Amino acid sequence: MDREQARHRIEELSEEIRMHNYRYYVLSRALVSDYQFDLKLEELARLEKEFPEYLYPDSPTRHVGGEITREFRQVVHRYPMLSLGNTYSEQDVRDFEERIHKIIGEETEYVCELKFDGVAIGLTYVDGRLVQAVTRGDGVQGDDVTANVRTIRSIPLKLQGEGYPREFELRGEIILPHSSFESLNLQKEEDGEEPFANPRNAASGSLKMQDSAEVARRRLDCFLYTIQGPELPYVTHYESLQAARKWGFRISDYVVRCKTIDDIFDYINTWNEARKDLPFDIDGVVIKVNSYAQQEQLGYTAKSPRWAIAYKFKAEEAPTELISVDFQVGRTGTVTPVANLKPVALAGTVVKRATLHNADVIAGLDVRTGDTVFVEKGGEIIPKITGVDLSLRPAGSQPLMFPKVCPECGASLVRREGEAAWFCPDETACPPQIKGKLEHFISRKAMNIDSLGEGKIEILFDNGLVISPADLYDLKYDLLIGLEKQYKGEGDKKDRVVKFREKTVVNILNGIAASRTVPFERVLYAIGIRYVGETVAKKLARHFGSIDKLRMAGINELTDVEEIGEKIARSLLLWLELPGNIELIERLRSCGLQLAITAEQSPRKSSKLDGMTFVVSGVFGKFSRDEIKKAVEDHGGKNVSSVSARTSYLLAGENMGPEKRRKAETLGVRIISEEEFLKMIES
């Protein structure tokens, strides 16, 4: 394919992918399968890599991410991001409507919208292209999160159609849908990290991540709801939103125009009931005057517009009795109190259990067995206890005490400085920790021994066959055949029996044998070191190359690795110092597992950069920053995140961080350009 053919194909694919994004995210009518879409995206990425002169800032491949942001620049809003006046009172809404009527003195039309429970964002477009994304901040200025927002596929990087202003700002809410939230929290629990309390917190935390590729994996979404600019082509808010939909923006399908106060309350009451059926969180309804001319006439207070108000729904809660509290031990040893409740209907489900989070929450609520407690669905997903009806407290009740020893193994609980959770330190003898680590070890993203799912690990543990992951590789046919366990069903689930028949045993042994070829980065993730998730394990494996080199690293060498902070580094050092873990590594080695990156797995093209460390900063002309970093690794070099005396080169692009340059000059670290780097690897 020559350059002209490549340019034509890149433009063709870009327009086709933008169209599919629009149909999927805006119109909810996909024309192709996810697999077909991914093939087109992969072809585009391959062509852009082969012909980098045709990699444009608004390419659909930018949705995949890869840019690293160390510091988020503060940006002053061109139009202040004012907050809305909030109310839980119907009378306040009536007073709002009456006040509008008195000031305007003529018929007024309103627009009612859902109030999304997410993170406010302002998107600036110039000549149909996204140029900046800024958070609300304090309303006057916010953080520039453009690199991360580019990864959200429902936000167009290039507009379609015509009629949009040359320059304008669209504001909306970045959210995390329930499905993405549940997947994210499941992954965090598997990695031994504290799960997010609700989707809003998760969305906010995701927007401020340094690695935009990781943001892309979290599957954020965005609804837009306000257009601002000096020359808007329409005279009403509703018309502008419908036009924005045609330009490629995701506008809520639940925006309606209302003529009367009764219409407004019909909308409020409908969504107060129906919100539990939505795939994302809302916490109320926003009512706006539709006419821009009338909005201008009504004006603003110092904090909010006079032409809009937010009616917030009361969180659905219900009283019920606290029967008892279980203290559950997770895979990483964290002890979590879980309340057992008298069953109560809440937000469309029957709630029997609720989290009490940790010892501080129990003490703050002063919750006791037998109390009548108020249960609420945090984020409409996770039931939690929010209060106690003290007037119904039984006489003689005693404060609920958090245990001092592990409820499973009896070891004394410990609490790390700066953390709220208590945990059991005896990971080698505590049954839930052992079983949790085994289940993590065989999971799909780790060793992928799927034939050992469905309760089989528990059977092996109960029969004393497997305590350590290394024990899996000692299993034989005669030990497994005939093992069985009966599981009692709960609710609608029937009782079931898991039995190790011949086919089951053969599949298990084949799966274990196949896992010996799993690459080192996944083995490192599988052994279950606290805070070492899938991404961290991959970075560590590729940086050090083997478990032996990782064991020799000190705190400075570890924190030099991109995205490895002191907390992760200290957790690694602590794990690697324990004799039992050293023994596990040696047993896994003797079982034939991959504890180093093999020549076949290594992406290396040469050894020209062996022993050299690079800090990459700025924007490059021929390659993306991720491609530059990959080239460093391909030729034997290592990427580190910060400049130090051990850094070989600072590879500088345009708009590089001034602090990195200053530090490199102070330490005498050589600063090289993209062209100089290319000469190093091509020579």
Q: What is the DSSP string of 73-108?
A: -EEE-SS--PPPPEES-HHHHHHHHHHHHHHH-S--
543 contacts 561 by C-beta, under 8 angstroms:
yes
> In this structure, are residues 620 and 628 in contact, taking their beta carbons and an 8 Å threshold?
yes
Q: Integer distance in angstroms from the first to the last C-alpha of the chain?
A: 27
Residue tagged 């609608």 (tokens) = 492
Distances (CA, A) of 623 to 45, 48, 529, 628: 12, 9, 34, 6
**Nearest residue to 222 (alpha-carbon basis) of 84, 114, 65, 116:** 116
Contact yes or no for 535/502 (Cβ under 8 A): no
Supply φ then ψ for residue 144, to 5 degrees. Answer: -80, 110
Whole-angstrom Cα distance, residue 431 to residue 48?
Answer: 51
259 is catalytic: no
The whole-angstrom separation of Cα 504 and Cα 500 is 6
Strands across the sheet containing 256-258:
86-87, 308-312, 282-289, 110-116, 256-258
| Number of helical (H) and strand (E) elements in the chain, helices listed first | 24, 24
Q: Which of 291, 289, 282, 276 is nearest to 311 (CA)?
A: 282
Query: Around 445, how many Cα atoms within 13 Å sit in the side-chain half-sphere?
Result: 12
For 588, the token pair is 């896994």
d(CA 400, CA 327): 12
The burial of 632, by beta-carbon neighbours within 10 Å (0-12 exposed, 13-18 middle, 19 or more buried), is given as buried
Please name the helix (run of DSSP H) or strand (run of DSSP E) that holds residue 345, with its range, or none. Answer: strand 335-346
Distance (Å, whole) CA 441 – CA 591: 15
282 near 57, Cβ under 8 Å?
no
For residue 259, the SS3 value is: coil
40, 49, 102, 115: the active-site residue: 115
Cβ-contact 128, 190 below 8 angstroms: no
Report which DSSP code applies to 669: P
Q: Please state, in angstroms and rounded to a whole number, the distance separating the CA atoms of residues 633 and 635.
A: 5
Residue 220 contacts residue 178 (beta carbons within 8 Å) = no
Q: Which residues contact 66 (CB under 8 A, 6 or more apart)?
A: 212, 213, 624, 625, 626
Catalytic residue numbers, as ranges: 115
